[in-house]
Structure 1
Amino acid sequence: MLRFVLFFLACLSLPFTAVQAHETSTDGLQLASVNAAVAYANSEELVYGKNAERPVPIASVTKLMTALVVMESGQSLNEYLEFQERHIPAPANAYTRIRIGSELKRGDMLRIALMSSENFAAYTLARHYPGGYDAFVAAMNTRARELGMKNTTFVDPTGLSVENTSTASDLVKLVVAANQYPEISEYSTTRYFTARFRQPRYRLPFGNTNALVHRKSWGVDISKTGYLSEAGRCLVMLLEFEGKQLVTVLLDSLGTRSPMGDAGRIRRWLSTGSSGSVAAAARDYARQKNQAYSTTESSASAH
């Protein structure tokens, strides 16, 4: 936790002019998410930012970087990989229905990691990376630096660790990079999937954790949800909007449906200028979280 606090404070001093330029000009948009960023995929400039430069835990949104590293490794998606017992304890609850010793194709592992946020699948992908688990995490951080994600750090491939931190504006860059791979788009927006394991042979059904992928009118091209108690409810998406690809990053919301509500408010705001409204409970939650960040900063500065 100390590492996260120190990282958080160090990153607060790093500027991002595009966010600063828009942070003060879009106060009319009301979002439940404590931190957010909106941008068109073909532009480096945000059209909206809310605490977009604040480094925060990102939970399973981490798996988008996991997917990018897997795809860029060039490893076969048709190769069967074994689910091995964890060599290190999981940072948080890591319940899974998958049996240790069973095997699944790499591509199917990646699919259930993205669409259903299967943590054991993400962990296993890292274990089978050239050089092993530690090399995979190192590759995640190297790729983040190459993409200009200066306020981002990874310590595990699942997002179960609170020390996986990033900013809303950094995650826009990650989504744009992931968009280069049709497999990430397909896997992350798969609605339902039955994984077929071998040794032993069995099947498990999986569903997408983002209800919006089930609605064709949304045109979701990339999706990833995330949740930890420290991170709140998170959602990042790339979607088709008025003939363009729009990236939305929503971090730290109170309820399971709050990020989806925010996504709708963003689309209406871009179309009509309507500011929208959020529930009082969500506003109270945001105030408490913002106060907690300020307290953490002040406490750390005192030491």
Structure 2
Amino acid sequence: MLKKLFATVVMSISVSAFAVPFGSQSVLVVEDDTGKILIEKNADRVVPIASLTKLMTAMVVLDAKQDMDELIEIDRSDVDTVKHSSSRVPVGALISRRDVLQLALMSSDNRAAAALARTFPGGKEGFKAAVRHKIAVLGMTQTVIEEPTGLNPRNRSTAGDLVKMAAASSKYPEITAMTTESKDLININGREVEYRNTNRLVGAKGWDIGLSKTGYIQEAGRCLIMNIKAGGKNATMVLLNAGASSARILDALNIRRFITGEKAPVVARASNRAPRYKASSSRARIKASAGKTKIKAVKKRSKTKVVPKRRKK
């Protein structure tokens, strides 16, 4: 048994050698087809999730099967009075629910997300009840979502729970399509206005992205949920509380390099804790920290299929 464990460690040296500190304070990367954890750092830490919230908003709106062609009027009550974030969606504009959902997901517009909750069956209270039910159904036991935009720092979750949310979101064709559009023209008061994706990697050369959502408020830092295909694998990554957009992007680049087997990281970022890389064997995990390596035996996890200004969110 010890010989087998030692062999596993030896085979995993190339994995731990790749290990670099991440700029994101919480990181979780899961291989979709097997449910195997590839990278894990503070995945159970409960933190604000900012506009990652909008994936949940989109799911409950789509679950309600409302008329997506119905025109929604953007109301003054939809304006952000919490963080005073900007919006290019004017009060009084009449926009189809489908386009309002597109604005909330692709360009992370807060007025759009607020309008979706306001016009939900039963209003804002009906929306909150639907969110609570969806959280329970998905088994997101460490998650609380109180409003639709993510502007409130009391919207909190863990990287582990957010992988579940990503898996559920990826089953909605509308969500995967809208979050992976690099830009789109939206009819605003009879005029075509171009809106762009808040994730700069969407549409970038070399990236095959199946789901994407960014988030930012000061309390949450820069956040990202993304499903990617790389090195013949489908993987979902959750990055929480990066100090800057550049750190979030570099973390994503390093994760893709790890998945594809490239050895050299793009850059090393400062972090208060090194990430844990799942070894090639499901029986052992290598944990790098403070220049020494600890070996910890773990049970094989059951397989779960995970499919996957302008102020940057």
TM-score, L = length of structure 1? 0.79
Q: Distance in 2 between matches of 1:217 and 1:129?
A: 38
Q: Distance in 2 between matches of 1:108 and 1:88?
A: 17
Q: Distance in 1 between matches of 2:257 and 2:28?
A: 15
Q: Distance in 1 between matches of 2:78 and 2:248?
A: 34
| Residue 103 of structure 2: aligned partner | 112
Question: 1:26: Cα distance to partner?
Answer: 6.2
Contact 1:29 1:274 in 2 (8 A): no
Contact 1:141 1:154 in 2 (8 A): yes
Question: 1:89: Cα distance to partner?
Answer: 6.3
Question: 1:42: Cα distance to partner?
Answer: 3.4
Contact 1:31 1:277 in 2 (8 A): no
Q: Distance in 1 between matches of 2:140 and 2:64?
A: 20
What are the Cα deviations for residues 240-291 of structure 1, in whole angstroms up to 9, with x where unaligned?
Answer: 1233321000011111121111111112122327373745xx416x57xxxx
Q: Distance in 2 between matches of 1:245 and 1:177?
A: 15
* 2:258 is the counterpart of 1:246: no
Q: Distance in 1 between matches of 2:193 and 2:178?
A: 16
Q: Distance in 2 between matches of 1:222 and 1:277?
A: 23
Q: Per the alignment, do residues 242 and 89 of structure 1 end up closer, same or farther by CA in structure 2, a change over 3 Å counting?
A: closer
Which structure 2 segments of 5+ residues have no match?
1-14, 274-313
Question: 1:194: Cα distance to partner?
Answer: 1.8
Q: Distance in 1 between matches of 2:38 and 2:135?
A: 22
More off after superposition, 152-161 vs 186-195? 186-195
Indicate which of 64, 70, 74 corresponds to 1:79.
70
Q: Per the alignment, do residues 84 and 239 of structure 1 end up closer, same or farther by CA in structure 2, a change over 3 Å counting?
A: same
Q: Between the two proteins, what is the percent identity of the paired residues?
A: 38
Question: 1:94: Cα distance to partner?
Answer: 2.9
> 2:138 is matched by which residue type in structure 1?
L
> 2:119 is matched by which residue type in structure 1?
H
Contact 2:230 2:260 in 1 (8 A): no
TM-score, L = length of structure 2? 0.77
What are the Cα deviations for residues 88-141 of structure 1, in whole angstroms up to 9, with x where unaligned?
Answer: 963322322222222111111111111111000000011111001121122122
> 2:140 is matched by which residue type in structure 1?
M
| Residue 153 of structure 2: aligned partner | 162
Contact 1:30 1:275 in 2 (8 A): no
| Residue 187 of structure 1: aligned partner | 178
Q: Per the alignment, do residues 43 and 150 of structure 1 end up closer, same or farther by CA in structure 2, a change over 3 Å counting?
A: farther
* 2:168 is the counterpart of 1:177: yes
What are the Cα deviations for residues 209-264 of structure 1, in whole angstroms up to 9, with x where unaligned?
Answer: 11111225211111111111111111110111233321000011111121111111
- Residue pairs, 1:207-222, within 5 angstroms: 207-222=196-211
Which structure 1 segments of 5+ residues have no match?
1-24, 288-303
Question: 1:157: Cα distance to partner?
Answer: 0.3
Indicate which of 263, 276, 284 corresponds to 2:252.
263
Partner of 1:211, secondary structure, is coil
> 1:90 is matched by which residue type in structure 2?
T
Q: Distance in 2 between matches of 1:204 and 1:88?
A: 19
Q: CA RMSD in A?
A: 2.1
Larger radius of gyration: 2
Partner of 1:266, secondary structure, is helix
| Residue 215 of structure 2: aligned partner | 226
Partner of 1:123, secondary structure, is helix
Paired residues, what number?
Answer: 258
Question: 1:197: Cα distance to partner?
Answer: 2.6
* 2:40 is the counterpart of 1:49: yes
Q: Per the alignment, do residues 206 and 273 of structure 1 end up closer, same or farther by CA in structure 2, a change over 3 Å counting?
A: closer
* 2:78 is the counterpart of 1:91: no
Q: Distance in 2 between matches of 1:255 and 1:139?
A: 33
Q: Distance in 2 between matches of 1:242 and 1:54?
A: 29
More off after superposition, 138-147 vs 176-185? 138-147
Q: Distance in 2 between matches of 1:240 and 1:144?
A: 27
Partner of 1:75, secondary structure, is coil
Question: 1:75: Cα distance to partner?
Answer: 1.2
Indicate the structure with greater strand content. Answer: 2
The structure showing larger relative contact order (alpha-carbon pairs under 8 Å, at least 6 residues apart) is 2
Question: 1:203: Cα distance to partner?
Answer: 3.6
Q: Distance in 2 between matches of 1:78 and 1:26?
A: 51
Q: Per the alignment, do residues 189 and 88 of structure 1 end up closer, same or farther by CA in structure 2, a change over 3 Å counting?
A: closer
More off after superposition, 110-119 vs 41-50? 41-50
